[in-house]
């Protein structure tokens, strides 16, 4: 049983600053390079053809604009609550509660879905029940998170190195085949490329989660912005090279038809043993994504509870491990409840909906705070402004709206339902808190 030392009511629970630039950067790369590229490249190739690399470039550009906004805001407010804190300051507490709800739900749902992806890979290697494998993964990763942020970061770093080795193997497989296909072949034109860009944005999910390391990072006002942009740049370069290599080896048709696209590429290049190796690497990639999604959801839950927008017990910190243990257990429990969710492409797009809405609000927050708090210290300030008006956040806002409307109607419907639920919670819980 976990025993919690009593906390005086006037003392805010605090986390410990133990992380440096490379730990945050490598953890960020691990979040970004998780299950997205391993699972979605085949689905994306079905829409974009051999030009799937261009879909990743479009998504990277949208991510870059919004990353700049995160860099400025995280340098101003290096708090674990991240988007909740930014939105609360710019647009008010109730809007912030809706955004926080969307982010927490997205992380829980994403973790459950990717855990089932892990179970699928595990089932292909060993005769184990898929549901049981997913449950064991979530339980084990909850244990890692409870141990401490330093331990979680080093697990993420180790898994990241394994993930990157898998991507490098795909790149190596494609090198002898480069130039053998038309890299601008688009079976349904630019429409398919843009549709695929909206889907593969899930593969960039994670750069925004890096700001949630802020309260556990040394000199976060400088470390977080530069770690964020470094992780995003490295991930984008790897994605483009992987796409070019994959279509060079097997072509977009074979990628689209495969449920394990990287294993298909490895098998075509080197045989069955290489396919087995890529399947093992995929286990680490999916596990890493689940770990980081649960980390991010637990931290923003902790931040919201500490700010009074969730029940106070969610902000409890373990006296020895210095981890938000109740938030971690709640997120893990939520992920277990959602293990029955549907296919990864549909759920990825629901997660994308929550991201696009969140990013619109984050970009808007930068613009609002430039006028509302012009004298506030900004260790990192987005370049290129017209007077006080920053141009890149406007581009980020518009590009996120553009990709948002590319999502299929069913996804937009589910996303609207989630947003509406968050609004109801914000109104009623906000009234209770004020009362």
State the Cα–Cα distance between residues 157 and 188, nearest whole angstrom.
Answer: 39
Which helix (H) or strand (E) segment is 67 a member of?
Answer: helix 52-76
Cβ proximity of 31 and 289 under 8 Å: yes
State the Cα–Cα distance between residues 103 and 84, nearest whole angstrom.
Answer: 9
| pLDDT for res 7 | 42
- Average pLDDT estimate for 166-182: 92
Q: Where are the alpha helices (H) located in 126-212, listed in sequence order?
A: 130-147, 149-174, 189-200
Q: How long is the chain?
A: 435
Query: Structural domains in the chain?
Result: 21-374+382-434 (1.20.1740.10)
Cβ proximity of 11 and 259 under 8 Å: no
Give pTM, 2 decimals. Answer: 0.78
State the Cα–Cα distance between residues 400 and 205, nearest whole angstrom.
Answer: 13
Q: What's the whole-number average pLDDT of the chain? A: 85
- Who has greater pLDDT, 149 or 414? 414
Highest mean pLDDT of the ranges 148-162, 180-194, 214-228, 264-278: 180-194
Q: pLDDT for 203-259, tens place per residue?
A: 887 787 787 777 778 888 788 888 988 999 999 999 999 999 999 999 999 999 887
- Average pLDDT estimate for 360-367: 94
Cβ proximity of 61 and 232 under 8 Å: no
Q: Copy the structure tokens of residue 435.
A: 């009362």
- Who has greater pLDDT, 343 or 73? 73
Q: pLDDT for 367-387, tens place per residue?
A: 999 999 998 888 889 999 998
| pLDDT for res 432 | 56
pLDDT surpassing 60 at residue 9: no
Q: pLDDT for 71-116, tens place per residue?
A: 898 888 876 557 778 888 888 888 888 888 888 888 887 888 788 8
């Amino acid at each position: 049983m976990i025993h919690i030392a009593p906390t005086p009511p006037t003392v805010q629970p605090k986390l410990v600053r133990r992380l440096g630039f490379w730990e945050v950067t490598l953890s960020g790369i691990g979040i970004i390079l998780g299950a997205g590229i391993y699972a979605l490249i085949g689905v994306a190739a079905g829409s974009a053809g051999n030009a799937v690399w261009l879909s990743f470039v479009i998504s990277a550009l949208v991510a870059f604009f919004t990353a700049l906004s995160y860099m400025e805001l995280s340098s101003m407010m290096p708090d674990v609550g991240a988007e909740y804190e930014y939105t609360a300051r710019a647009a008010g507490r109730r809007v912030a509660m809706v955004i926080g709800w969307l982010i927490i739900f997205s992380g829980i749902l994403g973790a459950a879905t990717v855990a089932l992806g892990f179970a699928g890979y595990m089932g292909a290697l060993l005769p184990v029940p898929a549901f049981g494998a997913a449950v064991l993964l979530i339980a084990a990763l909850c244990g890692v998170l409870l141990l401490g942020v330093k331990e979680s970061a080093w697990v993420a770093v180790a898994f990241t190195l394994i993930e990157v080795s898998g991507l490098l193997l795909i790149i190596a497989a494609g090198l002898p085949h480069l130039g053998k296909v038309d890299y601008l072949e688009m079976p349904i034109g630019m429409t398919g490329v843009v549709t695929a860009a909206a889907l593969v944005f899930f593969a960039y999910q994670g750069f925004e989660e890096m700001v949630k390391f802020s309260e556990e990072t040394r000199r976060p006002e400088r470390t977080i912005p530069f770690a964020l942009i470094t992780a995003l740049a490295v991930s984008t370069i790897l994605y483009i090279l992987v796409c070019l290599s994959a279509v060079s080896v097997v072509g977009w048709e074979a990628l689209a038809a495969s449920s394990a696209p990287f294993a298909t590429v490895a098998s075509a290049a080197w045989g069955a043993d290489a396919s087995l190796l890529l399947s093992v690497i995929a286990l680490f990639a999916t596990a890493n994504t689940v770990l980081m999604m649960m980390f991010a959801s637990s931290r923003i839950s902790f931040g919201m509870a500490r700010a009074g927008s969730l029940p106070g017990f969610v902000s409890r910190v373990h006296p020895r491990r210095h981890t938000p243990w109740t938030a971690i257990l709640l997120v893990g429990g939520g992920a277990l409840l959602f293990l029955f969710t549907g296919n990864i492409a549909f759920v990825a797009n629901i997660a994308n909906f929550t991201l696009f809405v969140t990013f619109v609000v984050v970009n808007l927050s930068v613009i609002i705070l430039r006028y509302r708090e012009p004298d506030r210290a900004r260790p990192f300030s987005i370049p290129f402004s017209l007077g006080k008006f920053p141009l890149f956040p406007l581009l980020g806002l518009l590009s996120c709206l553009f990709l948002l409307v590319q999502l299929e109607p069913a996804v937009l419907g589910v996303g609207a339902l989630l947003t509406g639920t968050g609004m109801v919670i914000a109104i009623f819980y906000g009234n209770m808190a004020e009362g």
